[in-house]
Amino acid sequence: MEILKSIDIDKVILTMTEKDRKLQEAQSQNTDTQQFMNDLYRARSKELKQAQRRTEGETKMKEQALAKMEELRSEIQLLQGQDMTSMNIWRDKVAQMKEIAQGYQAQNAMLQESLSLAQRRAEENQSYQQQEHVHDQGTRNLNFGGAPKK
């Protein structure tokens, strides 16, 4: 009976109420942070998919241009013994195709760089989410243990 008299019930209730309030605040902050990180991750994933689609399209165009160049090269070899005018025409066509292919190669390089940047961003976001999760776990452990802070 003496033990119950020495416990201040009002103080215990006040302490529990304060801990509940702090827990609610921490859970609210965690939810907000998780929502932000999820939104950010979705946005980065969308950027990555778009960059991949563009890269695939450019790669197909580049392959088509290279195939066309090979076709023209073989036609030129067939015409080697023929009239110089047709040779000049084919030479011009090959030069044009080479310029087009170089343009595609430059665009492809830019898209690959964009894709790798988007992948790095996605990896950084994922790493940040993992670090945030570890930090949240540590904060929860601190909030539940020990005597109330004054």
Q: 109-137, pLDDT tens digit by residue?
A: 999 999 999 999 999 888 888 887 776 66
70 vs 76: CA distance, rounded Å: 10
How many structural domains comprise the chain? 1
Please indicate, yes or no, if residue 20 is contained in any of the structural domains: yes
Please indicate, yes or no, if residue 67 is contained in any of the structural domains: yes
Q: Judge whether 108 and 58 are in contact, CB under 8 Å.
A: yes
What is the reported pTM?
Answer: 0.34
CATH of the domain at 23: 1.10.287
Domain around 83: 12-142
Q: What is the DSSP string of 95-122?
A: HHHHHHHHHHHHHHHHHHHHHHHHHHHH
Closest by CA to 29, choosing from 99, 150, 120, 132, is 132
User: 140: pLDDT confidence band, cut at 50, 70 and 90?
Assistant: low
């790095």: which residue's tokens? 120
User: 89: pLDDT confidence band, cut at 50, 70 and 90?
Assistant: confident
Please indicate, yes or no, if residue 148 is contained in any of the structural domains: no
133 vs 24: CA distance, rounded Å: 17
Please indicate, yes or no, if residue 3 is contained in any of the structural domains: no
Alpha-carbon distances, residue 67 vs 38, 53, 58, 94, 122 (angstroms): 43, 21, 14, 12, 35
Please indicate, yes or no, if residue 32 is contained in any of the structural domains: yes
Q: What is the pLDDT of residues 11-52, one digit of tens each?
A: 888 899 999 999 888 888 888 888 888 898 999 999 999 999
Please indicate, yes or no, if residue 58 is contained in any of the structural domains: yes
